Structure 1
Amino acid sequence: MANYIKELRELVGHKPLILNTAAGILVNEQQQVLLNLRTDTHNWSLPGGYLEYGETYATACVREYKEDSGIDVKIVAPIGIFDQGETVYPNGDVVQTITELFLVEAIGGQPLQTATDETLKLAYFDFDNLPPLLNQQTADTLIAAKEFLKHH
């Protein structure tokens, strides 16, 4: 069922929703994390997004990572589930997301070189020097990922 979120929004308008998302952490040799600059909110987040009806978190992570970054990834390990906070989008939509975060590894594809309808650009950042982020949950996932990477 493609465009599940769009169909749901047509039914409920801007009413606050609880939605499921998946995101991936990809780090380079310098242990920097790849983030995407979003077209909708003009701040940075991890490549990832909403599950379509019937998808698993892992499947959504791989699909969304490709859509947001151009990079094909495989799941290396789950990092955690995050369910605190909400996001208010410029169009008035309000959501509380339940996000499963995965450590991912690049296995193909090419990083986007031009803007898309979801991503303006990609960049690697040090965990201790991050740009303006989408929301507190994004910050929380990055803190958890930094700690996870120290021990794995």
Structure 2
Amino acid sequence: MSNYINDLRQKVGNAPLILNTATGALFNNAGEVLLQERVDTKDWGFPGGYLEYGETYKKAIMREFQEDTGLSVIPEKLIQNTDDTFYKYPNGDQIQSINQFFLVRYLEGTLLSVKTGETTRLKYFKLDQPPQFFNEQHAEMFKKIQRMRE
């Protein structure tokens, strides 16, 4: 979690916050999409995360992909913008997520093979075999890319 969010949480505890997030869909040559298994829930989601103060959505997805996956990517297309997701984390933190979901293109790098503070593992999924997602927003994003690729 970023210092910005840690600082906010020290002031407001678990009180609801409105936070901006950026997530990305990266496809491999077989048409599978990369997802990350999360440390906190052990469920799956798209790589991404919270914007730092002063950061753009595009810069955030590039940074988050590097941190979460080890890959350098560039956002190519905004797939959707959502603002109606409310989520309560296992630790009690509550948020309303304003999210921009991008189609991203691989630039360079190798997938991380070690557990990080946020990611247990990374895996490419076929679009007809969705995993258990950690929240409804990510499940809906998966459905969106399924429709997009039909």
TM-score, with structure 2 as normaliser: 0.94
Letter in 2 for 1:109: G
Query: What displacement does 1:148 show?
Result: 2.8
Superposed CA offset, 1:108-140 (max 9, x none): 111001111111100011122111101110011
CA distance in 2, matches of 1:127, 1:14: 35
Partner residue of 2:91? Answer: 91
Partner residue of 1:149? Answer: 149
Query: What displacement does 1:24 show?
Result: 0.6
Q: Percent identical across equivalent pairs?
A: 45
Query: What displacement does 1:146 show?
Result: 2.4
SS at match of 2:148: helix
Partner residue of 2:101? Answer: 101
Letter in 2 for 1:136: E
RMSD: 1.2
Partner residue of 1:36? Answer: 36
SS at match of 1:67: helix
CA distance in 2, matches of 1:148, 1:19: 26
| 8 A contact 2:87–2:135 mirrored in 1 | yes
Aligned pair count reads 149
CA distance in 1, matches of 2:82, 2:144: 10
Partner residue of 1:111? Answer: 111
CA distance in 1, matches of 2:127, 2:94: 27
SS at match of 1:85: strand
Query: Structure 2: any 5+ residue segments left out of the alignment?
Result: none
Partner residue of 1:13? Answer: 13
Partner residue of 1:124? Answer: 124
Letter in 1 for 2:110: Q
Query: What displacement does 1:84 show?
Result: 2.1
| 8 A contact 2:85–2:98 mirrored in 1 | no
| 8 A contact 1:82–1:141 mirrored in 2 | no
Letter in 2 for 1:91: N
Superposed CA offset, 1:27-86 (max 9, x none): 112211100001111111100000001000000010001111111101111111012222
Letter in 2 for 1:34: L
| 8 A contact 2:25–2:103 mirrored in 1 | yes
